[in-house]
Amino acid sequence: MSAALYTASWRALWEGWKVGTLDVTPCSISVVTYPKFWPESQAYPRLELLAPRGIFGVVKDPAEYAARYLDRLERAGVDAITEALRQLREENQDLALCCACYCRDAASCHRTTFARFMTDRGIEVAEWSPPAATQLQMEES
Ligand SMILES: [Zn+2]
């Protein structure tokens, strides 16, 4: 994986962390800041700017939810977002950041709207998954 920036579910990152394959720095962008099932995650950075506060759980229509969040990103501006991410990366051993939310389904998560926003502006964002993710999902089902 060579993208400069990633997105993932907290659970995927946790699975990677448990087996020692975490090659990114998780960065909280969820409204509920850190997952209870992974207390150690509180040591990771957070970018409140990217959390869908006031929209998540309030705007129920998926299309409107994405549009409202996109509007927030546009008002913040790609330069401010990129600079905030650059600073966090610098403060965290220069490992690629992985923006984390709880949603298992990335398609309906604001992290996908964020990834599209960045990709549209020439910054590559990929969904991160731990090397054993496929196997773990099979074991769960
Ligand atoms: Zn989400």
- pLDDT at position 54 over 90: yes
Indicate the range of 2-11, 32-41, 125-134 predicted with least confidence.
125-134
Q: Round to whole Å and give the CA distance between 41 and 118.
A: 25
Distance from the alpha carbon of residue 120 to the mean position of ligand 1, in angstroms? 20
User: Residues 56-71, buried b or exposed e (16+ Cβ, 10 A)?
Assistant: beebeeeeebbebbbe
**Locus of tokens 């957070």:** 46
DSSP string over the chain: ---SEEEEEHHHHHHHHHTT---SEEEE-SSS-S-TT-GGGGGS-B-GGGS-TTTTTT--SHHHHHHHHHHHHHHH-HHHHHHHHHHHHHHTTTPPEEEEES-S-GGGSHHHHHHHHHHTTT--EEE---TTHHHHHHHH-
- Which residues lie across from 8 on neighbouring strands? 100
- Span 16-30, average pLDDT: 94
Distance from the alpha carbon of residue 113 to the mean position of ligand 1, in angstroms? 10
Q: Round to whole Å and give the CA distance between 10 and 48.
A: 16
Distance from the alpha carbon of residue 135 to the mean position of ligand 1, in angstroms? 23
Distance from the alpha carbon of residue 64 to the mean position of ligand 1, in angstroms? 15
Distance from the alpha carbon of residue 9 to the mean position of ligand 1, in angstroms? 8
Distance from the alpha carbon of residue 12 to the mean position of ligand 1, in angstroms? 13
- pLDDT at position 123 over 60: yes
- pLDDT at position 3 over 90: no
Q: Check residue 43 and give its pLDDT.
A: 97
Identify which of 108, 119, 123 has the alpha carbon closest to the alpha carbon of residue 52. 108
Distance from the alpha carbon of residue 106 to the mean position of ligand 1, in angstroms? 7
- What is the extent of the structural domain holding 11? 5-140
Distance from the alpha carbon of residue 94 to the mean position of ligand 1, in angstroms? 25
Q: Check residue 21 and give its pLDDT.
A: 85
Question: What confidence tens digit (pLDDT) does each residue in 61-112 have?
Answer: 999 999 999 999 999 999 999 999 999 999 999 999 999 999 999 999 999 9
Distance from the alpha carbon of residue 109 to the mean position of ligand 1, in angstroms? 4
Phi and psi at residue 110, to the nearest 5° = -65, -20
Q: Check residue 135 and give its pLDDT.
A: 54
Q: How many domains does the chain have?
A: 1
Distance from the alpha carbon of residue 110 to the mean position of ligand 1, in angstroms? 5
